[in-house]
Amino acid sequence: MASWIQKKPLSFRQRRAARLLTCGWLRDGQVAQLLGVRRETIWAWRQQPQFQARVEEFERELDAHTYYQRRAGLELALTKLEQLVESPNPRVSLAAMEIVLRLNGRLP
C-alpha cells in the first residue's frame, strides 16, 4: 500500500478484539466467538500493523493502570502500617515495627 493512501481506521470489532486480546484472558477463538467472526479473522487482524499498534497501545495503558493501582495500594498499606506502629497497644505496635524492619532488610 502506498504511504500516501490513508489507512482505513479499525472497525469496532477490531478495536474490541484488540482490547480483549490485551487482557490476556481469552484466546483468539474465544474472542472470535464473542465478536461473531472466525478465528482466522482474528489471526488476519493480528498480522495488520495498525491492529498490532492498537494492541500495543492498549498494553501500555494496561501497564500504566496496573502500576498506578499497585502504587496506590502500597501507599495505603504503608500509611496503615505507620498508624499501627503508633498504636497504643504495645503488641500491635511491636508487630508493625517488626514488619517495617523485615521490609527494610533489618530482620530475616
For the chain, the structural domain boundaries read 12-103
In this structure, which topology does domain 12-103 adopt according to CATH?
Answer: Arc Repressor Mutant, subunit A (1.10.10)
Q: Are 42 and 34 in contact (CB under 8 A)?
A: no
Instruction: Grade residue 67 by pLDDT with cuts at 50, 70 and 90.
Output: confident
DSSP 6-75: PPPPPPHHHHHHHHHHHHSSS-HHHHHHHHTS-HHHHHHHHTSHHHHHHHHHHHHHHHHHHHHHHHHHHH
Instruction: Grade residue 2 by pLDDT with cuts at 50, 70 and 90.
Output: very low
The answer to whether residue 56 scores a pLDDT higher than 60 is yes
pTM metric for this prediction: 0.61
pLDDT for the residue 10: 94
Give CB contacts under 8 A, 24+ apart, made by 2-9.
Answer: 7/50
3-state secondary structure at position 85: helix
Instruction: Grade residue 104 by pLDDT with cuts at 50, 70 and 90.
Output: confident
